[in-house]
Amino acid sequence: MLVQIRIAVTKQGVDLGSYRRRVFETIRRYRLVEMGDVIYVAVSGGKDSCAALSLLREYVEEYRVDAEVKALHINLGFGYSPKLEEIVKRQAEALGVELHVAYAKDYLDILAASKASGRPICSVCGAVKRYIMNKVPRELGATKVATGHHMYDFLAYYFKNLAGQNHQWNFKILPKVEGRGLLLTKIRPLIFARPEENEAYCKSKGLPVNEVCCEYGLCGAAHAEVVEMLRAARRRDPDFDLKLMRGVVDFNTKFRPAEEEPVKKCKICGEPTSGEVCTVCRLRSLLGAT
């Protein structure tokens, strides 16, 4: 049985009613959930993906949409992975959703591939996560895959690409990116939500969340400059971050180029790729795997 939201405004000043309405409006306006959908939410054990799973589930129940919401967890095979898997199982149980656990080692040994290729662990980890998050739900019958990325994830990515003049990547910052070929449709219900709102929401519902950083990550450092910059701007206008995010999505909706890179099939595994062989197969070949 789900725990009802008991407090409208938390001690941290988070207005949970406005947050929930904003997330539901995002789901409705951008048609993130449609009749007949089977949505797999990629859950890490953290507050953001847990909030995405819970809110999508609430939305489907509240509006009686004929759609299924399920969870997918990727066990990365790191030191803290068993603990994360345990937390995710508790989250799924608390929310009454079906959970599928995929093991990264069945696809690629992340640490060995990083060492063999010289690529940073996070880069290899990101590649294998993207691979699994598309392949596994699709094979399980998913129509869409959802992630718990929040507003500051996208704004940090936006500014990084702007500074690096990688403008084409910024066009992908949208609540929904339609699938093509074997690529599943991606949805981001929390694109207009702040991390502290996700945290307060999970807390209000008594949902268990992991608070330990990945041993190979910088734990929020990637957002530090953007958070600092936006905090300063929000002193004058508390919704400046939200307006900025809305502006980016509006721009991308209106001006995203119609032509996109064709999606090819990897010659080795058959999964989608922009080249001849996908990143995971290239890394696997470095380890002598076929």
Q: Is 44 annotated as a binding residue?
A: yes
Q: Is 153 annotated as a binding residue?
A: yes
What is the spatial distance between Cα 51 and Cα 37, in angstroms, rounded to a whole number?
A: 19
Q: Does 217 engage in binding with ligand SF4 (CB under 6 A)?
A: yes
The distance of closest approach from Cβ of residue 126 to ligand SF4 in the complex, given in angstroms and rounded to an integer, is: 5
Q: What are the C-alpha distances in Å from 40 to residues 133, 145, 148, 210, 265?
A: 9, 5, 11, 20, 23
For 37, list phi and psi in degrees, rounded to 5.
-65, 145
What is the spatial distance between Cα 23 and Cα 5, in angstroms, rounded to a whole number?
A: 15
Q: Which of 145, 171, 167, 163 minimizes the C-alpha distance to 248?
A: 171
The distance of closest approach from Cβ of residue 120 to ligand SF4 in the complex, given in angstroms and rounded to an integer, is: 8
Q: Does 283 engage in binding with Zn ion (CB under 5 A)?
A: no
The distance of closest approach from Cβ of residue 275 to Zn ion in the complex, given in angstroms and rounded to an integer, is: 10
Q: Does 278 engage in binding with Zn ion (CB under 5 A)?
A: yes
Q: Which of 189, 147, 179, 193 minimizes the C-alpha distance to 31?
A: 189
Q: Does 122 engage in binding with ligand SF4 (CB under 6 A)?
A: yes
- Residue 243 identity: K
Classify residue 242 as exposed, middle or buried by CB count within 10 Å of its CB (0-12, 13-18, 19+).
Answer: middle
Judged by beta carbon, residue 123 or residue 166, the one nearer Zn ion is 123
Tokens 């992340």 identify what position?
Answer: 110
| Contact yes or no for 72/102 (Cβ under 8 A) | yes
For 211, list phi and psi in degrees, rounded to 5.
-120, 10
Q: Residue 145 binds which entry of ligand SF4, Zn ion, none, with Cβ cut-offs from 5 to 8 Å by kind?
A: none
Q: What is the DSSP string of 209-244?
A: ---PPPTTS-TTGGGHHHHHHHHHHHHH-TTHHHHH
Q: Which stretch binds ligand SF4 (CB under 6 A): 11-19, 177-185, 214-222, 260-268?
A: 214-222
Q: Per the structure block, which two tokens stand in for 236?
A: 């004058």
**Per-residue interface string for the shown chain with Zn ion, residues 257-276, x marking contact by CB under 5 A:** ---------x-xx-x-----
Judged by beta carbon, residue 122 or residue 183, the one nearer ligand SF4 is 122
The distance of closest approach from Cβ of residue 290 to Zn ion in the complex, given in angstroms and rounded to an integer, is: 11
Quick one: which of 125, 132, 136, 207 contacts ligand SF4 (CB under 6 A)? 125
Total residues contacting Zn ion (rule CB under 5 A)? 6
Q: What is the DSSP string of 103-125?
A: EGGGT--HHHHHHHH---HHHHH
Q: Does 126 engage in binding with ligand SF4 (CB under 6 A)?
A: yes
Judged by beta carbon, residue 92 or residue 214, the one nearer ligand SF4 is 214
Judged by beta carbon, residue 56 or residue 281, the one nearer Zn ion is 281
Q: Does 60 engage in binding with ligand SF4 (CB under 6 A)?
A: no
Q: Which stretch binds ligand SF4 (CB under 6 A): 118-126, 170-178, 229-237, 258-266?
A: 118-126
Q: Is 118 annotated as a binding residue?
A: no
Q: How far is CA 161 from the centre of its chain?
A: 18
Q: Is 74 annotated as a binding residue?
A: yes
Residue ranges for the known binding site for ATP are: 42-44, 48, 74, 148, 153
Residue ranges for the known binding site are: 42-44, 48, 74, 148, 153
**Which parts of this chain interact with ligand SF4 (CB under 6 A)?**
76, 121-122, 125-126, 214, 216-217
**Which parts of this chain interact with Zn ion (CB under 5 A)?**
266, 268-269, 271, 278, 281
